[in-house]
Amino acid sequence: MQEDRNKKTPEDYMRQVLQLAKQGEGKVSPNPMVGCIVVKDGKVITTGYHERYGGFHAERNALLNCQENMEGAELYVNLEPCCHYGKTPPCTEIIIEKKIKKVYIGCLDSNPKVRGKGVKILQEHGIVVETGILEKECRIFNEVFFHYIEKNMPFLAMKYAMTLDGKIACESGDSKWVTGEEARAYVQSLRNYYKGIMVGIGTVLEDNPMLNCRLQGGRNPVRIICDSKLQIPFDSKILQTASEIKTIIAWNPQKASSLRSTERNLEDIKIKLKEQGAILLEVPLKEKDGMQQLNLNYLLQELVKQGIDSILLEGGGTLNASILKEHLVQRVYAFIAPKLVAGAKAKSPIEGSGILKMKHAIELQNVETMMFGKDLCITGRIGGSVCLPEL
């Protein structure tokens, strides 16, 4: 018998499922991106994906979208089908109702309300279930969701652009631009994907950035400024647009009053900032290397309570170093431009005090490289939460 060369493997279908799921990027968080394909007699009879937060899940969208009889069909989905009533009814119910014969799953759902129960319910109804199709890819694909649901902390990605000699600006402070247009366009897509964007006050004072998303059809991330002393200028682009784009200023009263002559002075500043639309978030201090700094762990815990499941950290070097040392970074995007600017005083992406031995360097895992015009981007994970959760 001649083998059908066009016959697709479960992995082929799962790749297609991930492509579908990706269409929900920037629209479904803090939910995962999920896609679904139904195959009968070797033919895809329907597809669907989770389109927006609060909307139907991928499986329900796919199954409701099909006019054909689905009895005996096989269903592919990158995440274990849910079995709970959340904003939508359980996906397991509709899969059972439509008499699907077999379900192929990318990876299990770490949501405690699902967590293996979805698989069990399907099996109890006589449905054959195969899990672990492209499991690692599926975990990385939804790395933000898994980190958020397993650790109850925002997923933090540190992004920086530097020259080939490791500088983020010239000695003069000029930094426009390190990388070319293509790389900067990719950063815009990251801003669309990550729910929040974080910088230190130094970056605001030096660059006066906007920190918005300029991608067509994209959405702006929530801007989080670490400004313990409330130094942000009233005429900065960020404050000028704070009534339109959500802006959180993380500060500390002790630090802020150390800079001001009277209590009244500080009260006036707080009133003015709030009038401009900024949200003030009071953060306690933590001693680090003999210095009092904002407690970044506390800050991230507060942000996750506000639904911020992921943050793109855009520096500068001092904040990057503090966050890295607190073990709060999960991913790095390092853009490297083939340019040299030299200078011992030119800033580098991560400052603070460094690691003393090369053997103790933080090594990235699951490293990937991408080219954007002449610029290279190296991205990888810090810490091992790509591995499977214990059920």
Q: Which residues are catalytic?
A: 59
SS3 call for 257: helix
CB 125 within 8 A of CB 81: no
Dihedral, CA atoms, 44, 46, 51, 53, nearest 10 degrees? -110
CB neighbours (10 Å) of residue 266? 17
Contact call for residue 272 and ligand AOF (CB under 6 A): no
Number of residues that bind Zn ion (CB under 5 A): 3
CB of 364 to Zn ion, least distance (A): 33
Indicate the pairing of strand 375-381 with strand 365-372: antiparallel
Contact call for residue 347 and Zn ion (CB under 5 A): no
Window 35-54: residues binding ligand AOF (CB under 6 A): 50
Candidate residues 57, 139, 191, 347; the one interacting with ligand AOF per rule CB under 6 A: 57
CA distance 285 to 296: 9
Contact call for residue 34 and ligand AOF (CB under 6 A): yes
Window 90-109: residues binding Zn ion (CB under 5 A): 91
* Residue window 44-73: x/- pattern of binding to Zn ion, with contact defined by CB under 5 A: -------------x----------------
297 binds, among ligand AOF, Zn ion, none (CB under 5 to 8 A by kind): none
CB of 136 to ligand AOF, least distance (A): 19
Contact call for residue 28 and Zn ion (CB under 5 A): no
Number of residues that bind ligand AOF (CB under 6 A): 17
Window 75-114: residues binding ligand AOF (CB under 6 A): 79, 81-82, 86-88, 91, 109, 111, 114
Q: Quick one: 74 or 207, whose CB is closer to Zn ion?
A: 74
CB of 311 to ligand AOF, least distance (A): 19
φ and ψ at residue 43, rounded to 5 degrees: -120, 135
Minimal CB distance residue for ligand AOF: 86
Q: Pick from 213, 226, 220, 277: which is nearest to 255 by CA?
A: 226
CB of 109 to ligand AOF, least distance (A): 5
Contact call for residue 82 and Zn ion (CB under 5 A): yes
Beta strands in 20-146 (DSSP E): 35-40, 43-49, 74-79, 102-107, 128-130
CA distance 236 to 161: 23
Which of the ranges 63-71, 74-82, 179-187, 191-199 carries the binding residues for Zn ion, by CB under 5 A? 74-82
CA distance 90 to 119: 12
Residue 66 CA from chain centroid, whole number = 33
Contact call for residue 26 and ligand AOF (CB under 6 A): no
φ and ψ at residue 276, rounded to 5 degrees: -75, -10
Q: Pick from 48, 14, 53: which is nearest to 32 by CA?
A: 53
Beta strands in 221-364 (DSSP E): 222-226, 247-251, 279-282, 285-288, 291-294, 310-313, 331-337
SS3 call for 92: helix
CB of 334 to ligand AOF, least distance (A): 31
50 binds, among Zn ion, ligand AOF, none (CB under 5 to 8 A by kind): ligand AOF
CB 302 within 8 A of CB 126: no
Window 353-382: residues binding Zn ion (CB under 5 A): none
Q: Quick one: 55 or 277, whose CB is closer to Zn ion?
A: 55
Q: Quick one: 114 or 119, whose CB is closer to ligand AOF?
A: 114
Give the bridge partners for 291, in sequence order: 288
For ligand AOF, the binding residues (CB under 6 A) are 31-32, 34, 50, 57-59, 79, 81-82, 86-88, 91, 109, 111, 114
For Zn ion, the binding residues (CB under 5 A) are 57, 82, 91
